[in-house]
Every structure is written in structure tokens, then in C-alpha cells.
Structure 1
Amino acid sequence: MSRTASVNDKQLACTQAAAEKQRTWFAGLRRDVFEQQRPYAIINADTPHDLFHLMGVPVVTNQWWAAVIAAKRLSPDYLDGMNERGYHADLCRYCSMGLASSLIDLQERAPWGGLPRPALLCARLTCDCMQRIFQQWADHLGAPFFALEAPGSSVLPERWWELSRHRWTELCEPHRLDLMVAELRELIGVLERISGKRYDEAALRAFLQRVNEQEECFEEVRQMIATAPRCPVRISEQITNVMATQWHRGSDWALAHARAFRDEVKARVDAGIGACDQERKRLMWVGAGLWHNTAFYSDYEASHGAAFVWSMYLPFGPEWYIRYGLDDPLRALASRVVTMNEVLHNAPYAPAWIVREAQRNRIDGAVVLMPRGSRPSASGTLFITHALEAAGVPTLLIEADMVDARAWDGAAVDAAMTRFLEERLT
């Protein structure tokens, strides 16, 4: 239960438009799949969505589906069911929730009736559990699984954001890009067979250019949030608008929505409107979204003037998705895929970037999520916490899960947050 349940968490018209887009899109997907037998794919967030979109193969993103389940308060049913079937309790909930939703039949309670059988599942092998989760999921659904390797990096520049847009070959290393390009070409062959379409390099180049334009809009929003006297948009609304757009990136709708979001935020800044009228303390949320309790982000506005103004979802797009120099668009796309999770979560990449973001956004305190079982997301958490404290940013570490509501102790978290705000952010 939110402490401030009456807080209006949809202050922007764009937020409602983004939510409606997701609802109508998924309803259309189910109609197309069941009535017209149109193939679709289940894929992880760090895979090359762009190729699926380009080839006309709709996708359901595993982590988005897990967030939907958590938001509908169904994660305990699915995760308890997994444990009853012998899956160990420390399995990554974020990545296994989709598998659980296919194994456990909640009948009419399943979100939108549940996922239909896909034509393909695709994931990048970023941790030990990924291959087994997706292979079991594919076996259960009777669909093929396409795995992308995650080759290790020998170049670890702390200030990676200075290289990512123009010098991405240097950042991602030619031999790693060679491997990823070869795998993407193999994936293209699979998508051609599924869709009946031929891959078009010029079309991919144009697609990635639209993605660049979309992310440039988010760059403007990011700068407005960093410099406005008060944050013009809560992170819950930042996430809704950004992620709906990212899932449909490269489309006409995505670019139009990114522009509309930028314009609506700019209008609020120009009018002096802040999301939280009482903003006195600026907080950052480090980690994946708390999908089973997004109301948490506004819980301390009225009582402490504490506003969450930053999460990774908005700034990471411009920082990592933009690729200039699209002479070889497939290689540019490979550079985005080959190191995505690493720069977002692992040391030295993540700590340096998050400290820089804290400084840019005038952050008074950071709340860091330590997710149980989610090793890639949690692997750099202590490094990030240490770096923030060393930079003079007070930090509160919360051990919880982004989609598993079973272990969320609201009273304990509230007590910890209250102490943090009153004793460390003075």
C-alpha cells in the first residue's frame, strides 16, 4: 500500500497515450496471432529488437512482460508455482517470470489471457541461468530458441559515454563486433524465413537514423530534468513514456511520441511546473524499476519533500542507443548489443556513469536496489554504492526484487527510508 495513494501519478497526457498504445498494441498482437496466424517472437531486453521490427516480426519483451505481471500483483502466484515445481528460490525472478507464466495456468487471471505460442525466442547469454530458462521456455512452447553470445570485453574505459556515439568501434573492439555481426546475420536468416521478407541494409540504416532522432529527443528531456529548478516529471512517468517508446523504437509512432513527450516536458518547464510542489531533496533510483510498487517513488514527496528525479531508463537511451556513422548499419547495431548489460550494471562502467549522473542532476541521495537472484543486475551494485558514497552522495541500499512482491517488507523499507531522509539528508 502506498503512503500517498492519492498522489496523481499521471500528470502528463503523454503518459496516458503511452499506456494506451501498449494496451492496443498487445490486443492487436493477440488478434493477429490467433486470427491471422501472424508469427511473433519473445525476446530479452538486450537483444536487437531493431531487426525484428525491420523484418516485420512483432515482439514481446521478456522483462516488459515480467513488469506487467508484477504490476497486476500476480508475481506471487507464478513464483510460488515455480517453487512448487522444484525451481530453486534464488532463480532470477525478472528473467524467469515469463517462463512461469507459461508453465502455470492462471486461466482468466492471466494478463490479457496469457502469451500465445511464438515463432521464436531470443536471448543474449549474459548469465548462467539465461540459456536454461529460455531453452526450457522454448521447449514448453514448442518454439526454437536463438541464443546470442556475450563475448567478454578487454577494454574497460570508465568514461565509456565519451566513446559510445562516435567511437563505438574502439569501445566495443573489432573482434567482438565481428562475432556479433556474424550472429546477427544468422539471426537475419531466421527472421527472413519467419517473415517471408528480405533483409534490406538501406532500410536498417534509415531505421537506426530514426532511433537516433528518437534518442536525441530524450537527450533534450534529460537535460531539462537536470537543469530545471524542480523536476518536471516523476520517474514513474519518465519510465512509462521512455519504455513504451523504446519497445516500439524506430517506428513512426515512437518518434512522434518522443517528440510529443519532449514538447510536453518543455511546456511544463517553461511554465515553472514541477512534478512535486514540495521538492526539497532530489533522489535517484539505481536499478531496475520496482514494478510491483511503482507508487513507492512518490511516497515521500508530501512528508519529506523528497522527489525521485532520476532512474536509468531515460538517460541510458541517448547514452547507449545513439550511433553516429551508419555506413555499416549492422555493425553499428552489433555495437549496441554486444556490451549493453555490461555498461549498465558492471564495474567500472556503471559506477562511473551513475556518479556522473548524480552530479549532473544535483542528486542529494541515492536509493539502490539490490535484487535477489538477479546476478547481472546486482553484480555491480556494491561497486556503485561505494562510488556514490565516495563522491559524497549518501546512499541507501534496499535488498528487494523488482518483480517479486513476496519479500517486500513495506514497514521495514519505510522505516529505513525515513531514517535515511531525516538523518543522512539534512
Structure 2
Amino acid sequence: MNKVQYQFRPENFKLSDPNKYQLENLKSEEMILSLGPQHPSTHGVLRVEVISDGELIVDVVPHLGYLHRCFEKHAESLPFNQIIPYVDRMDYLAAMNSEHAYAMGVEKMLGIDKDIPKRTEYVRVLVSELNRLASHFVAIGTYGLDIGAYTPFLWLMRDREHIQRLLEWVSGARMLYNYVWIGGLFYDLPLGFEERCKEFINYLKPKMTELKQLVIENKIFVQRTANVGVLPMDLAINYGCTGPVLRGSGLKFDLRKVDAYSVYPEIDFDIPVGKGEMGTKGDCWDRNYVRVLECDESIKIIEQCLEQLIGTHKRTVDFDPQALVPKKIRPQAMDFYTRAENPKGELGFFFRTDGRSDVPLRLKARACSFHNLSVLHEISKGAMLADLVAIIGSLDLVMGEVDR
């Protein structure tokens, strides 16, 4: 095969400024690259097909289905109470929050949601906010790892381990808990749990200050994330983005406030939003900063829950967390949708029941990670290839929830 060697010809160049030569008449070639599905920075088995022009991204196409949980088909063959372990396995980093959302939905269909004891509700919120902290710690720690910072990952995994041990003490499981039951809880909190949890929160507060100094205010971290992957608010709304991805774009929308479910109306906390302090509102830095601030708010919520559980709604000898757990679950024939604020956004469940069976005719999960991922191609166009990993990491995806 004859090799054509490019020869320098002065007529192919023009002088655009005194210190720079520009080559004319060279056509660009687009390349198709595959990132994943086996890749440490795709946060699961996500395959991203990247069309690039040199170092610039022309388009991004996510390919899904490598971790299909078959959740919705399993749910069509199981009684309502046996579906909870499958709920755990979607967003396996926030199983308590997912269980809470599902249990509330079935309770509303049965009409027993107003009868749940206050202590049960405060325990549910307590364990959900602990799990929210653990989920955000994974998001922030692995995000630092994605862009080259190893120390934040180690520090946050160390602190997350304390939360995992607390939740394992409560439920007997490390990550997939099956603790929040329809009508109640698997069991009340172990003796001494409130005091141990309070000790952990007192330990964690100064660590959050260190985290902000180590990551959020770090000059290199800011340069890698500010003005990268900018998601305007209107685009986030149009794509159905929720959670920190939406709030990072500046919209103060949190279902714990909007829908005011469980005992959240009785708890004082704020909703952090992105403000473009280091770059453009809605960039990777804003999304990560919102998660860090939400950790502070979760600590406030946990403290208030502990006050209630130690004081007004303390444990009693006659308290039975399974007193309202129904033996047979047969909701009336209806179509019903319920939702809750998970660490990654709005997790919703659509139920279709016939009024005769204790198995749902249809159960559709509205996964927040799926909608957040759908905006990837919009915010990646024109970015550098090196920034794609930073953009994917800022969305905080869990593929078990995307593929369901």
C-alpha cells in the first residue's frame, strides 16, 4: 500500500497573527468511542457511545440495560409486602429511602397512612436521613476519585462505614435492609441506638467542615468543575430532572417540602440550591455543592428526630412497630401514583390494582437516575473528552435504578 506523506507547502498556511500559523483546508474526522460499560467512572455498568471531533464532544449516546433488575416484572408476580426487598435493589445506595417511598404509597392506597404511630414515622425519617448521608458520601467521594482526588474518597468511606454499621445494627443487613414495612417497621430501634447515633452526629459535624475545605473550596477541584456541564433550569425541568441535579440549577424543589409527607412538616430544614458562586449556575460544581449542603441539612433533621425519639415519642413497653402491618394487602381497584424525595431525586411508584388480588396488576417505578441521565447528551455537547467523566459523575447515577 502506498503511503501518502504530507508535505509542507507554504500556500497551505496563512498568517492569522504574528505568533500563530493556521493550517487551512484540513477536514475534521469524527470518531466513535466507547466509554464503558466496564469502567470505574461510569458509576455502574453504563456504556456511553461518544462521537468526538478530536478532543471535542459532538454527541453522547447512553446505552442501557446491562444491569437489568426486572423489578417491574417481579412486582407483577409478588404480594405487595414481598416486593420491598426488590425495591432495595434498585438504588442500592439508598435502600431505606426507597422502602419509605414504597411503603407510604401502599399505606395511602389502603387508607392507613394517617394511623401510623409518630414514633414509627420519626424512626423512618431518622434511618432515611442516615441513608441519605451515606448515599451523598458515596456520590461526593467517588466524584473526587473520578477527577483525580483520592483522599476525599477515603475520608468519606471511613465516615460512611459508621452509618453502615448503625443501619446494620437496626436491620441486620448492611445495604439491602427490608426494614421499613407496610404499616410499620421490622423492629423498633435497638436499645442504646439513639445515644450511639447522637455520638456519631457530634463526631461528624467538624468532619463536614474539613470536607468543604478539602473538596469544595479546593482550587484544582473548582477549576475542574466550574463552568463544566452547565444545565440551565428550563432544560432540567423539560427533561424531568429532580433532586440535586435540578436544585443545582437553582430551582428550590424538594418533595419533603412540596408534598410534606411523613413528619417532615414538623422538622426545620432548608433546601440548598446552586447559585453559580464559582462559575455558571447549574454546572458540575453547583451540583456537587448542593449535595454537600444537603448533608448539613440531613444532620439537622437527624438531630431533631433524635430529640423526639428520646423525648416526646420515646420507646415504651407496649409500643409495637408491627401493630398496623396488615396480614393481607388488597387495595381497592385504582390507579395510584406516589412519590418521595430520594437522595438522587424523585422516586415514584405507579400502582394498578384490581381490588381482588394481593398482587399488583402493574407496578411502574419512576427512577430519578433515569431522568437525570437522559440530559447527559445535552450538557456534554461541545465539552472536552476529559470533562465527560466529570459530567457523568456530577449526575450521581446508580445503574440498578436506571435499568430497573
With the length of structure 2 as denominator, give the TM-score of the two structures.
0.28
More strand by share: 2
More helix by share: 1
Which structure's CA Rg is the greater one? 2
